[in-house]
């Protein structure tokens, strides 16, 4: 279906809904790279005017326009007509006003989530300013549980990410302990492995499980290898708390990650059968990021932010414990600078929360992007205000395996102090019991860690 | 007298370059560490922004008796190159035409800036000259060294096709991390096509003083080239065959 608008004597034509979404998207390098971006600010704002008048019900058609795409089928199957009813007659612009109305509460939004599609939330985000994205997301509380309770209002959790370039067991343990001594790791202690071999995956699970059990930490651990490696490791009875996978917004993009929905179904079933968590716990962990579909040439002419929101349809099928966008990791060809990374981080968090996901963000950048620590501080502060479930933290902000900059353990402490955002209650109680954050902490200090911790042999 | 045993902290430093916090923990990262981080980031940014020092590279190659040519990708300048990897992979026709008159060769040698001209300045010529000696000893005809500005890996494919070379080595600066801005990567591919997938390339990475030494990297590249030319394969297929031991090493 084609759309058009007459503005100041000029007619702007948009041949399809996905074309209109792309033209209305706030500026970012990835859409320019894909040849989808507006020709300039005037066409972009014209597209936003046009988009504001589109009825939400238009988005119930196949927006991607790709025959047989499994993610589209999933989106259609997930859509709950009854939940959608309160906003069914609204336009995108009317939906924005409704979201910002103080009478629209967090409970209202939680009931609405199954009635929203990714394309609807992406569309409304495109005509929302940063403060709108923050204000609406801050209303939504998405709580998930394993050994800790994540996402409670007024709290901020962290993933402790002790990556090491050769997956050295002691190197991983040292970085993990460095974070624990700063109170980081209540969302998960999770390692991105340098290789994807099964023995390494199992060893990393064992190292993290040894740390967790010896220090009696109320958290969960994860090795972020491929889902097929996780399946093999569970088969071999490795201590797998959470199954991780990167996911994206089309079948073709997921194929680029080597995954299908049925493979994810199989992994979700396998991890549930391990019975490592209390009944009803959330057991999956997903990462996403704008530009993933384009980099796999699997965006099908859709803008990168709408494709990102479609990935959340995949994630929400599995009631995950954790979902995060790796917002600045993909590089400046998708998000060029601090401004674009900041905007994208707020969009992803907003869209995820509106779709009912326990959304976290890897507040990060690479060295070839026009970004620095100041940009990350601003994004972290904005996200904490928006009620982000968790952020990723590494020693000193420097990930020595993936060669990019994320937040430091100290950065999370800044938010705890400045905005008053304690970690998960179980973890906060554990910290208090061990004196963490005081000079009397009874965890082994780093210098003594290698002789104190009993790690599995390499 | 025996040497002093390493302290736990020395042992930790040998295990990991992570920016761990020793001793008392403040709420914020202490000033020396915060400024050290800023310096490392500035160094990485400088490496990304750096242009190839063409006169210095030309004279270094000249001293070794190696000829050279210069090309620029369709990206044109640094800012475009960073945002448009597609243009950094494309060789403009005018540039390709300039290479067409070179003498016939089996292997094209390309030195590109990639994401760190700093890495190229430190190790680029040393790596190519080590590789030049090994390939010449194998009886292969080599191209002049093509100095490529605003170059992504796949720019080498177009260069090889313009010169009629069957095999191409593209050595270029890798994306700088905070701890290393001087890492060179070398990508080798046999029979490049206009749409060569990345899975058809073999990569040797982390070539730098504190990483993989230049001589060892040149040995690996020469072995790959020999195997490619013997089997007609490259990339994932070749790695599998080499790992399975079905190829002569």
Q: What is the DSSP string of A9-55?
A: TEEEEESSHHHHHHHHSPP-HHHHHTT-S-SSHHHHHHHHHHHHTSB
Q: Do residues A408 and A399 make contact, with C-beta atoms less than 8 angstroms apart? A: no
Asked, for residue B24, whether it belongs to a domain, the answer is no
Asked, for residue A57, whether it belongs to a domain, the answer is no
Distance CA A351, CA A355 (A): 6
**Residue B31 tokens, joined:** 């000033």
How many domains would you assign to chain B? 1
Nearest residue to B52 via CA among B182, B160, B178, B148: B148
Asked, for residue A404, whether it belongs to a domain, the answer is yes
pLDDT above 70 for B78? yes
pLDDT above 90 for B8? no
Asked, for residue B30, whether it belongs to a domain, the answer is no
User: H or E stretch including B170?
Assistant: strand B167-173
Nearest to A450 among B11, B29, B47 (CB): B11
* DSSP 8-state code for residue B121: I
pLDDT above 60 for B1? no
B134-148 tens-digit pLDDT? 999 999 999 999 999
Residues of A in contact with B15 (CB under 8 A): 168, 170-171, 174
Mean confidence (pLDDT) of chain B: 92
Asked, for residue B67, whether it belongs to a domain, the answer is yes
Q: CB distance A414–B27 less than 8 Å?
A: yes
In A, what residues contact B, Cβ < 8 A?
Answer: 29, 32-33, 162, 164-165, 168, 170-171, 174-175, 178, 181-182, 332-333, 336, 366-368, 372-373, 394-398, 400, 403-405, 408-410, 413-414, 417, 439, 446-448, 450-451
* DSSP 8-state code for residue A248: -
The mean pLDDT value for B151-167 works out to: 96
**Closest Cα in chain B to A29:** B83
Query: pLDDT value at position B248?
Result: 52
Q: Tell me the shortest Cα–Cα distance from A215 to chain B, in angstroms.
A: 19
* Local confidence band at B249 (pLDDT 50, 70, 90 cut-offs): very low
Mean confidence (pLDDT) of chain A: 96
Q: Tell me the shortest Cα–Cα distance from B91 to chain A, in angstroms.
A: 18
**Domain range for A419:** 144-449
The mean pLDDT value for A66-95 works out to: 98
**Closest Cα in chain B to A176:** B20
Nearest residue to A58 via CA among A84, A36, A38: A84
**For the domain that residue B57 is a member of, what is the CATH number?**
3.40.50.11240
pLDDT above 70 for B246? no
CB contact, 8 Å: B14 with chain A? no
Nearest residue to B169 via CA among B135, B118, B215: B135
Residues of B in contact with A397 (CB under 8 A): 19, 29, 37
pLDDT above 80 for B244? no
* Local confidence band at B196 (pLDDT 50, 70, 90 cut-offs): confident
Distance CA A394, CA A399 (A): 6
Most B CBs within 10 Å, among A368, A380, A414, to test the B interface: A368
Asked, for residue B23, whether it belongs to a domain, the answer is no
Asked, for residue A110, whether it belongs to a domain, the answer is no
**For the domain that residue A340 is a member of, what is the CATH number?**
3.20.20.70
Most B CBs within 10 Å, among A396, A420, A431, to test the B interface: A396
Distance CA A363, CA A327 (A): 6
pLDDT above 70 for B3? no
Residues of A in contact with B87 (CB under 8 A): none
Distance CA B176, CA A3 (A): 45
Distance CA A12, CA A47 (A): 8
3-state secondary structure of B207: strand
The mean pLDDT value for B214-232 works out to: 95
Query: Which residues does residue A149 pair with via DSSP β-bridges, in sequence order?
Result: A145
CA A81 to each of CA A85, A296, A418: distance values in angstroms, whole numbers, following the listed order: 6, 33, 42
**Residue B230 tokens, joined:** 């013997």
* Local confidence band at B103 (pLDDT 50, 70, 90 cut-offs): confident
- Which comes out higher in pLDDT, residue A405 or A439? A405
Distance CA A4, CA A10 (A): 10
Chain A and chain B share a number of CB contacts under 8 A equal to 120
pLDDT above 70 for B247? no
Asked, for residue A108, whether it belongs to a domain, the answer is no
Asked, for residue B123, whether it belongs to a domain, the answer is yes
**Closest Cα in chain A to B13:** A171
Query: Which residues does residue A258 pair with via DSSP β-bridges, in sequence order?
Result: none
Query: Which residues does residue A360 pair with via DSSP β-bridges, in sequence order?
Result: A324
A356-411 tens-digit pLDDT? 999 999 999 999 999 999 999 999 999 999 999 999 999 999 999 999 999 999 99
Could you give the percent of chain A with pLDDT greater than 90?
A: 93
Q: Tell me the shortest Cα–Cα distance from B148 to chain A, in angstroms.
A: 19
Asked, for residue B40, whether it belongs to a domain, the answer is no
pLDDT above 90 for A114? yes
Q: CB distance B19–A33 less than 8 Å?
A: no
pLDDT above 90 for A339? yes
Q: CB distance B83–A33 less than 8 Å?
A: yes
Asked, for residue A72, whether it belongs to a domain, the answer is no
Nearest to A164 among B7, B16, B19 (CB): B16
Could you give the percent of chain B with pLDDT greater than 70?
A: 97
pLDDT above 90 for B179? no
Q: Tell me the shortest Cα–Cα distance from B211 to chain A, in angstroms.
A: 12
- What is this structure's pTM? 0.93
Asked, for residue A235, whether it belongs to a domain, the answer is yes
Q: CB distance A410–B20 less than 8 Å?
A: no
pLDDT above 50 for A333? yes
> What ipTM does the predicted assembly reach?
0.94
Distance CA B38, CA A377 (A): 14
The mean pLDDT value for A268-297 works out to: 96
CB neighbour class for A13 (10 Å; exposed up to 12, middle 13-18, buried from 19): exposed
Letter string b/e over residues A171-200, b meaning 16 or more CB atoms within 10 A of that residue's CB: bbbbbbbbbbbbbbbbbbbbbbbbeeebeb
Q: CB distance A410–B27 less than 8 Å?
A: yes
Q: Tell me the shortest Cα–Cα distance from B85 to chain A, in angstroms.
A: 7
For residue B114, is it left (φ>0), alpha (ψ between -120 and 50) or beta?
left
pLDDT above 80 for B6? no
**Domain range for B130:** 49-243
Asked, for residue A89, whether it belongs to a domain, the answer is no
Residue with the two structure tokens 């050769």: A166
Q: CB distance B15–A175 less than 8 Å?
A: no
Longest dimension (CA), chain A: 76
Q: Tell me the shortest Cα–Cα distance from A296 to chain B, in angstroms.
A: 12
A142-157 tens-digit pLDDT? 999 999 999 999 999 9
- C-alpha R_g of chain A: 22
Asked, for residue A6, whether it belongs to a domain, the answer is no
């Amino acid at each position: 279906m084609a759309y058009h608008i007459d503005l100041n004597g000029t007619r702007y034509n948009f041949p399809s809904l996905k074309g209109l979404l792309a033209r209305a998207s706030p500026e970012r390098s990835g859409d320019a790279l894909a040849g989808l971006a507006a020709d300039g600010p005037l066409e972009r704002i014209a597209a936003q005017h046009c988009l504001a008048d589109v009825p939400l019900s238009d988005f119930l058609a196949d927006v991607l326009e790709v025959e047989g795409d499994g993610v589209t089928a999933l989106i259609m199957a997930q859509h709950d007509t009854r939940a959608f009813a309160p906003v069914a007659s609204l336009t995108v612009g009317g939906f924005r006003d409704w979201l910002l109305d103080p009478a629209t509460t967090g409970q209202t939004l939680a009931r609405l989530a199954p009635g929203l599609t990714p394309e609807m939330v992406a569309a409304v985000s495109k005509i929302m300013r940063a403060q709108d994205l923050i204000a609406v997301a801050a209303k939504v509380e998405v709580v998930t549980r394993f050994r800790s309770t994540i996402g409670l209002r007024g709290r901020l959790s962290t993933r402790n990410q002790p990556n090491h370039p050769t997956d050295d067991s002691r190197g991983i343990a040292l970085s993990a302990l460095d974070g624990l001594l700063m109170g980081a790791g209540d969302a998960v202690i999770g390692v991105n492995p340098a290789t994807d071999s099964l023995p390494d995956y199992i060893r990393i699970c064992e190292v993290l499980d040894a740390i967790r059990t010896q220090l009696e930490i109320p958290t969960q651990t994860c090795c972020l290898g491929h889902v097929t490696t996780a399946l093999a490791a569970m088969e071999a009875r490795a201590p797998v708390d959470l199954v991780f996978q990167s996911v994206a917004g089309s079948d073709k993009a997921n194929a680029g990650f080597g995954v299908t929905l049925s493979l994810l179904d199989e992994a979700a079933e396998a991890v549930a059968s391990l019975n490592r968590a209390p009944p009803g716990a959330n057991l999956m962990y997903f990462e996403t990021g704008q530009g993933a579909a384009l980099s796999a040439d699997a965006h099908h002419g859709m803008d990168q932010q709408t494709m990102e929101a479609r990935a959340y349809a995949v994630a929400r099928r599995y009631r995950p414990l954790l979902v995060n966008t790796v917002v600045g990791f993909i590089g400046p060809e998708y998000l060029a600078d601090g401004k674009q990374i900041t905007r994208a981080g707020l969009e992803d968090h907003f869209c995820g929360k509106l779709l009912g996901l326990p959304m976290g963000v890897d507040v990060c950048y690479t060295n070839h992007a026009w970004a620095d620590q100041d940009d990350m501080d601003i994004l972290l502060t904005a996200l904490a205000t928006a009620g982000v479930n968790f952020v990723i933290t590494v020693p000193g902000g420097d990930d020595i395996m993936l060669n990019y900059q994320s937040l430091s353990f100290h950065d999370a402490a800044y938010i705890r102090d400045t905005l008053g955002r304690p970690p998960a209650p179980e973890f906060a109680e554990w910290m208090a019991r061990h004196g963490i954050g005081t000079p009397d902490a009874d965890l082994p200090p780093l210098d003594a860690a290698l002789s104190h911790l009993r790690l599995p042999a390499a | 007298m025996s040497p002093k045993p390493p302290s736990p902290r020395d042992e930790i430093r040998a295990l990991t370059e992570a920016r761990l916090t020793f001793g008392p923990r403040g709420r914020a990262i202490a000033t020396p560490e915060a400024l050290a981080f800023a310096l490392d980031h500035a160094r990485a940014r400088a490496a990304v922004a750096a242009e190839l020092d063409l006169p210095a590279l030309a004279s270094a190659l000249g001293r070794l008796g190696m000829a050279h040519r210069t090309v620029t990708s369709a990206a044109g300048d640094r800012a475009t190159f960073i945002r448009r990897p597609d243009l950094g992979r494309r060789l403009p026709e005018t540039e390709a035409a300039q290479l067409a008159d070179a003498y016939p060769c089996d292997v094209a040698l390309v030195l590109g800036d990639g994401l760190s001209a700093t890495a190229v300045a430190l190790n680029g010529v040393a790596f190519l000259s080590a590789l030049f000696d090994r390939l010449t000893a194998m009886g292969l005809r080599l191209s002049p060294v093509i100095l490529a500005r605003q170059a992504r890996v796949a720019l080498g494919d177009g260069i090889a096709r313009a010169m009629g070379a069957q095999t191409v080595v593209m050595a270029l600066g890798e994306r700088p991390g905070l701890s290393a801005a001087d890492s060179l990567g070398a990508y080798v591919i046999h029979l490049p096509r206009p749409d060569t997938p990345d899975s058809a390339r073999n990569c040797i990475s982390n070539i730098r003083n504190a990483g993989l030494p230049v001589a060892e990297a040149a040995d690996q590249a020469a072995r790959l080239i020999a195997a490619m030319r013997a089997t007609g394969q490259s990339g994932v297929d070749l790695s599998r065959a080499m790992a399975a031991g079905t190829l002569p090493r």
